[in-house]
Structure 1
Amino acid sequence: MANLTFLGLGVMGYPMAGHLARAGHKVTVYNRTAAKAEAWVAEHGGRAAATPRDAADDADIVLSCVGNDDDLRAVCTGDDGAFAGMSGDTIFVDHTTVSAEVTRELGAIAAERDIAFVDAPISGGQAGAENGQLSIMCGGDPAAYDRVEPVLSVYAKICRRLGDSGAGQITKAANQIAIAGLVQGLSEALHFAEKAGLDGRKVVEVISQGAAGSWQMQNRHETMLDDQFDHGFAVNWMRKDLAICLAAADEVGASLPVTALVDQFYKDVQAMGGGRWDTSALIKRLRALS
Structure 2
Amino acid sequence: MAQVAFLGLGVMGYPMAGHLAAAGHQVTVYNRTAEKARKWAGQHGGTSAATPREAVAGAEFVMACVGNDDDLRAICLGDDGALGAMDKGAIFVDHTTVSAAVTREMATVAADRGLGYVDAPVSGGQAGAENGQLSVMCGGAQADFDRAAPILDAYAKICRLMGEVGSGQITKMCNQIAIAGLVQGLSESLAFAQKSGMDVEKVVEVISQGAAGSWQMANRHKTMAAGEFEHGFAVDWMRKDLGICLAAADEVGAALPVTALVDQFYKEVQGMGGGRWDTSSLIARLTR
| TM-score bucket of the superposed structures, by smaller chain | over 0.9
SS in 1 for 2:205: helix
* Matched ranges for 1:231-250 at <5 A: 231-250=231-250
Question: Could you tell me which residue of structure 1 aligns to residue 280 of structure 2?
Answer: 280
**Aligned equivalent of 2:219:** 219
- Structure 2 spans left out of the alignment, 5+ residues: none
In structure 1, how many angstroms separate the alpha carbons of the residues matched to 2:218 and 2:101? Answer: 34
Q: Does 1:111 align with 2:111?
A: yes
Aligned equivalent of 2:176: 176
Q: Distance in 1 between matches of 2:285 and 2:131?
A: 31
- Which letter does structure 1 place at the counterpart of 2:275? G
Cα drift, residue 260 of structure 1? 0.3
How far residue 201 of structure 1 moved from its aligned partner, in angstroms, is 1.2
Q: Within 5 Å, which residues of 2 pair with 1:64-83?
A: 64-83=64-83
Per-residue CA deviations over 1:114-157 (Å, capped at 9, x if unaligned) read 01110000000000000000000000011000000001011011
Separation of aligned partners in 2, 1:9 and 1:125: 14
Distance 2:153 2:247 in 1: 31
What is the number of residues matched between the two proteins?
Answer: 288
Distance across 2 between alignment mates of 1:237 and 1:180: 12
2: distance between equivalents of 1:214 and 1:71?
A: 33
**2:35 — aligned with what?**
35
Q: Give the Cα separation in 1 of the matches to 2:98 and 2:225.
A: 32
Q: In structure 2, how many angstroms separate the alpha carbons of the residues matched to 1:125 and 1:205?
A: 24
Per the alignment, residue 130 of structure 1 pairs with 130
Spell out the pairing of 1:1-290 with structure 2 (5 A cutoff). Answer: 1-288=1-288
Instruction: Using the TM superposition, give the Cα deviation of residue 101 of structure 1 relative to its aligned residue in structure 2, in angstroms.
Output: 0.3
Please state how far the C-alpha of 1:84 moved relative to its aligned partner: 1.8
% same residue = 72
Q: Which amino acid aligns with 1:217?
A: M
**Aligned equivalents of 1:151 and 1:207: distance in 2?**
40
Deviation string 1:4-53 (CA, Å, 9 cap, x unpaired) is 00000000000000000000000000000001001101100111000000
Distance 2:199 2:176 in 1: 29
Give 3-state SS (helix, strand or coil) of 2:6's partner. strand
- Deviations along 1:42-98, one digit per CA (max 9) or x if unpaired, are 100111000000000000000000000000000001000011210210000000000
SS of match in other structure, 2:97:
coil
Q: TM-score, normalised by structure 1?
A: 0.99
- CA distance in 1 between counterparts of 2:196 and 2:137 reads 41
> 2: CA distance between counterparts of 1:201 and 1:237?
29
Task: Quote the offset at 1:287 in angstroms.
Answer: 1.1
Distance 1:76 1:200 in 2: 48
- TM-score, normalised with respect to structure 2: 0.99
Q: Secondary structure at the match of 1:157?
A: strand
Structure 1 unaligned blocks of 5 or more: none
